[in-house]
């Protein structure tokens, strides 16, 4: 029974992974992500249903567009597989079972998937554009607010006031960004990172968020060390270009390490 359940969850994760690639591409361009059909970025031909089956379509078409035969980057396939695996690991980490049904566990799982989906999109956009999209953050805040309402009304969570404080801080940061920075016609990536950190804090709590920040610092440090080693093998001109264009997507690292840390901590709680 669990194998059947986790197989369905993997398929759902792969479907989300296919959506992530679309969202990461369209959201920064302010394009519709729900009503406009997917199309090939090379020939602009609208894709049919058989072209959009996660994993299967890529393998069946041998990684090429059905219409223009342009190669499709393998990262789309890898993201679909990775999304499916992450969704399954999250379900396993909270011991989700079909029978007996645990309503609290199921609700946490549903909101958790939406939270993870939000982080996937934020991470993808930040890695590509070095920008944390406010619209995606807002979606994450709405998901968390709905979950907090559920905890307050049905679960009678005694820690509800902590969530209210977090949401209050988020509101203050949004007001700061809207009123103060916009007057200067400027955007602050640092403030965007703070807003993202509050999103992580509200859902995954203090301990996991602190671990996330620690692992992010370690990951960024390893990235810089490896990058410096690579630069040593290049010419001085290439080194200057690299140094000038070096950008660290902190939002990307925060999202990835938070997902990993959340799943690992959930597994440890089951042990």
What pLDDT shows up at residue 186?
A: 58
What pLDDT shows up at residue 227?
A: 80
**Rg, Å, the chain Cα set:** 20
pLDDT beyond 80 at 4: yes
For the chain, domain boundaries? 1-93, 133-271
Percent of the chain with pLDDT over 90: 37
Contact 259, 219 (CB under 8 A): no
Q: Give the 3-state secondary structure of the chain.
A: CHHHHHHHHHHHHHHHHHHHHHHHHHHHHCCCCCCCCCECCCCCCECCHHHCCCCHHHHHCCCECCCCCCECCCHHHHHHHHHHHHHHHHHHHCCCCCCCCCHHHHHHHHHHHHHHHHHHHHHHHHHHHCCCCHHHHHHHHHHHHHHHHHHHHHHCCCCHHHHHHHHHHHHHHHHHHHHHHHHCCCCCHHHHHHHHHHHHHHHHHHHHHHHHHHHHHHHHHHHHHHHHHHHCCCCHHHHHHHHHHCCCCHHHHHHHHHHHHHHHHHHHHHC
pLDDT beyond 70 at 41: no
Q: Mean pLDDT, the chain, as a whole number?
A: 83
pLDDT beyond 90 at 239: no
What pLDDT shows up at residue 21?
A: 87
Percent of the chain with pLDDT over 70: 87
Q: Which residue has the higher pLDDT, 148 or 43?
A: 148
What's the whole-model pTM score?
Answer: 0.87
Q: Which residue has the higher pLDDT, 38 or 105?
A: 105
The confidence band for 22, taking pLDDT boundaries of 50, 70 and 90, is confident
pLDDT beyond 90 at 171: no
Q: Is residue 49 packed enough to be buried (19+ CB in 10 Å), middle (13-18) or exposed (0-12)?
A: exposed
pLDDT beyond 50 at 242: no
């Amino acid at each position: 029974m669990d194998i059947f359940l986790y197989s369905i969850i993997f398929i759902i994760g792969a479907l989300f992974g296919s959506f992530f690639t679309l969202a990461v591409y369209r959201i920064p361009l302010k394009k519709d992500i729900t009503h406009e059909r997917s199309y090939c970025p090379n020939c602009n031909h609208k894709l049919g249903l058989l072209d959009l089956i996660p994993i299967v379509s890529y393998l069946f078409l041998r990684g090429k567009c059905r219409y223009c035969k342009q190669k499709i980057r393998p990262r789309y396939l890898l993201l679909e597989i990775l999304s499916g695996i992450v969704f399954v690991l999250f379900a396993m980490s909270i011991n989700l079972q079909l029978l007996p049904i645990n309503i609290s566990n199921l609700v946490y799982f549903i909101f958790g998937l939406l939270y993870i989906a939000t982080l996937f999109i934020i991470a993808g956009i930040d890695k590509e554009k070095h920008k944390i999209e406010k619209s995606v953050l807002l979606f994450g805040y709405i998901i968390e607010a709905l979950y907090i309402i559920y905890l307050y009304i049905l679960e009678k969570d005694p820690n509800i006031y902590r969530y209210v404080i977090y949401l209050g801080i988020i509101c203050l940061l949004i007001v700061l960004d809207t009123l103060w920075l916009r007057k200067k016609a400027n955007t602050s990536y640092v403030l965007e990172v703070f807003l993202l950190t509050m999103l992580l804090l509200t859902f995954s709590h203090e301990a996991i968020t602190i671990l996330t920040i620690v692992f992010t610092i370690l990951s960024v440090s390893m990235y810089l060390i490896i990058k410096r080693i690579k630069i040593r093998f290049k010419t001085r001109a290439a080194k200057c270009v690299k140094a000038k264009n070096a950008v660290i997507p902190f939002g990307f690292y925060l999202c990835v390490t938070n997902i990993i840390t959340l799943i690992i901590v959930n597994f440890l709680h089951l042990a």
